[in-house]
Amino acid sequence: MNTLAALHDLTGKTAVVTGGSRGIGRAIAGALAEAGADVVVASRKLDACETAATEIAKESGRRAEAVAFHAGHWADCDRLVGETLDRLGRLDVLVNNAGMSPLYTDLTGISEELYDKTLAVNLKGPFRLAVLAATHMAEHDGGSVVNVGTAGSLTASTRELPYACAKAGLNALTVGLAEAYAPKVRVNAILPGPFATDLSRGWAPEDPDEAPFVPLGRMGRPEEVAPLAVHLASAASSFTTGAIIRVDGGITRKV
């Protein structure tokens, strides 16, 4: 194994990926397994998690577990960490990827329920889960937390304002936790821009390879985020913490 490959090797590590059954989360979970990690796929729908876990195990030869989990519920965050340790015996990498961006007609039409749910899934739950995971990592062999936010947190479009507010909080959480759990735990964030996933079908162009509003001229693909997550999870990024990295095709190049 060459030096670069060795730095990215996650053999013997256990990674938890929330929202890991589809889209960007599924790509990250698969990439972490390919790098050698055992993986826990966590999302609301157990059957989708089980399908993804079975596929990942078959493709990578690594162990993959499925856990039903709601990112907005603190009790589920506690249970996810507990089940990971019970089943796999360790926790080295957390990817806080679960999120939601509900549609609304106008700002005055946003209900308290919608606002609270958006903040819970995108910020409250990730806060609790990251604190639990990082505390465990700091008390053991160290580790890495990767928060998946959005480039929209830097621009705050009125079409997704509660979501952008929550993800801006996730940026702040990343910086704060990087200080709180150093030196044994590194905490970084990835900010995807417009990506072609099932969640973007409501607003994305019909042809994802034709997106003139993106400087690179197209939508991103989930597999274009996954290698960065592996990098941040591994020893290859051993001097990187508190970083907020944009993967957005240049959308926020002037922000």
Catalytic residue among 104, 115, 163, 181: 163
Question: What pLDDT does 255 receive?
Answer: 61
204 close to 219: Cβ distance less than 8 angstroms: yes
In this structure, the dihedral spanned by the alpha carbons of residues 5, 10, 12 and 14, taken in order and rounded to 10 degrees, is -170
Strand partners, 195: 220
User: What's the rounded Cα separation, in Å, for the pair 147 and 244?
Assistant: 9
Neighbours of 3 (CB within 10 A): 7
Domain boundaries, the chain: 3-247
Question: What pLDDT does 54 receive?
Answer: 98
Strand order in the sheet with 64-68: 64-68, 38-43, 14-18, 93-96, 143-148, 185-192, 244-247
Question: What pLDDT does 137 receive?
Answer: 98
Q: Which helix (H) or strand (E) holds 191?
A: strand 185-192
User: What's the rounded Cα separation, in Å, for the pair 18 and 84?
Assistant: 12
User: What's the rounded Cα separation, in Å, for the pair 100 and 117?
Assistant: 9
pLDDT at residue 60 greater than cutoff 70: yes
DSSP 77-135: HHHHHHHHHHHHS---EEEE--------S-GGG--HHHHHHHHIIIIIHHHHHHHHHHH
pLDDT at residue 202 greater than cutoff 70: no
Told to judge if 104 belongs to the known catalytic residues of this protein, a careful annotator would answer: no
Question: What pLDDT does 209 receive?
Answer: 66
Contacts of residue 40, defined as CB under 8 A and 6 or more positions apart, other chains included, come to 14, 15, 16, 17, 20, 64, 65, 66, 67, 80, 83, 84, 87, 88
* Whole-structure pTM value: 0.93
Per-residue pLDDT reduced to its tens digit, 127-148: 999 999 999 999 999 999 999 9
As assigned by CATH, the class of the 3-247 domain is: alpha beta
User: What's the rounded Cα separation, in Å, for the pair 19 and 231?
Assistant: 19
User: What's the rounded Cα separation, in Å, for the pair 47 and 61?
Assistant: 20
The pLDDT of 186-197, averaged and rounded, is: 88
pLDDT at residue 231 greater than cutoff 90: yes
